[in-house]
Amino acid sequence: MDDNGAWELPSELVLLRDNIKRFMQDEVRPAEEKLEHDAYKMPPELLNPLQTKAQDQLGIWCINTPKKFGGSELSLLAQAVVAEEAAQCRMGAYVPACGAIGVDPPNVIFDGTEAQIEKYGRRTIEQGLKAFVAISEPGGGSDPARAIQCKAERQDDHYILNGTKLWITGAEAAEWGLVFARTEAGISCFIVDKEMAGISTRPVPVIRSYSPSEVTFTNCKVPVENLLGEEGRGFALCQKWLVHARIPYSANVIGIAQRSLELAIEWARQRETFRSALADKQAIQWMIADSEIEIRAARLLTYQAAWQADLGNDIKVAASMAKVYSTEMAGRVVDRCIQIFGGMGVAAEMPLERWYREMRIKRIGEGPSEVHRMVIARDLLSR
C-alpha cells in the first residue's frame, strides 16, 4: 500500500514492467510494423536480434520455466506483469512480444522424469522448439475429464494411441506435444513426437489470422517411457498448470485493452468533429471512463489471484473470476475504442480490428465464460 492507501506493485515489479514497456515500444513494435497486418510469426532475421536483446538487456527468457532449465522462473504475479506489457503488439494475443521473450514449453513437462525433461523441456528452451497440448476433442471441450474419448491401450513396451483432438493451438508447427487420452486407469498424459507414425494434423480456419488444428492419432505407437507421470493421473497432473495459466491469459487481454484505450485517447484528443475535439464529447468521455474503470477492475482481480497463488493458496475460483471478467471486459473495451475511431477503427492499418477478432476467441479459450461461472457459483453455493 502507498501513503494514500492504494495498492501498488513492489518496486522490483514496477522496474520490470517499465523495462518491458520500453522494450515493446522501442524494439518489438517497430519490428512488427515491417510485417503484414495479420502476420502471426516473426521471421528469424527480425526475431533473433530481439531475442538476444531480451536475454542480454532484460534478462528475460521463458518466464514460466525453472531457472535450472534455462528460464526466468518468474513468480505468477511477475508473469502477469510481463504478460500485460508483452501483449501490446498486433500479434500479442497469440505470441506475447512476438516471441522475443521466448515461448515456454508446457510447464507440466517439468514434472516428468529426468530423461523427459532433458529431451523435451530443456531442449525446447535451448533450441526454440515448439510444443502443443491436446485436451479438447470434437465431442466436447468444456468438460474434458468426461469428454475425452481418445484411447491409449498398453501393448508390451508401448501404448497404441487412437482418437482425434480438436482446437489444438500450435500443432501444425510443433515438434512435440502432450496428449491426454483414456487408459484403463483413467486419463493419462503422453508425450508424442510429431514424426511418430500415425499422427496427422490439419488446420481448422477460424476468425483470427492463425488457425488451431485437428490432430488425429491412428494406431500411433507411443513408448512406455513417454508416459508423463503415473497412468490414470494425467489430468490431476496438469490441473495446477491449467489454473495458473489463466492468470497470464487474463493479463494478456488486459494489456490489449490498455493499449486499445491509449490509442483511442490519443485519437480523441487530436480528432476534431463539429468544431471541437472528439475528446470534448460526453459520449466519448463516458466510453473512455467506463473502459478505464473496467481495465483497473480486471487488473486487480488478476493481480490478486496471482499474489494468492504465490503465497501458496488455491486460486481455482479466483482464476476463474479473473478469466471471465478480463476477457469479457477486453471485448467491450476494444469495441468501444473502434467506435471512437469510427471508420479508421476497422482499417487494416490499425490493430483494433484484429484485436476485436482475437478478443472474441479469448472468451472461449482456457474454458468458456459459462464454465467458469459454474465453477464460481458451485463454490459459493457449497460453502
Which residue ranges form the domains of the chain, and what is each CATH number? 11-109 (1.10.540), 131-228 (2.40.110.10), 238-382 (1.20.140.10)
Q: Provide the whole-model pTM.
A: 0.94
pLDDT of residue 139: 83
Amino acid at 358: E
Residues sharing a CB contact under 8 Å with residue 248, sequence separation 6 or more, in sequence order: 64, 79, 80, 82, 83
Residues sharing a CB contact under 8 Å with residue 209, sequence separation 6 or more, in sequence order: 38, 39, 40, 354, 357
C-alpha dihedral, 50 to 56 to 62 to 67, nearest 10°: 170
How far from the centroid of its chain's Cα atoms is residue 208's Cα?
15
- pLDDT mean by block of 10 residues, the chain; 383 residues: 63 97 97 95 96 94 93 97 98 95 92 95 90 90 75 97 96 95 95 96 93 97 96 85 94 98 97 88 97 98 97 97 98 98 94 97 94 96 92
Given a contact cutoff of 8 angstroms between Cβ atoms, the answer to whether 353 and 346 are in contact is: yes
pLDDT of residue 141: 59
Which residue spans within 51-205 are E strands per DSSP?
131-134, 151-155, 158-168, 176-183, 186-193, 199-203
Given a contact cutoff of 8 angstroms between Cβ atoms, the answer to whether 336 and 290 are in contact is: yes
pLDDT of residue 4: 44
CA dist list (Å): 366 to 89, 148, 167: 21, 16, 11
CA dist list (Å): 248 to 75, 81, 198, 334: 11, 8, 34, 19
**Does 370 qualify as catalytic in the annotation?**
no
Q: Which of 27, 85, 294, 366 is catalytic?
A: 366
pLDDT of residue 36: 94
- For residue 151, the cross-strand partners are 162, 182
Site of grid cell 493499449: 259
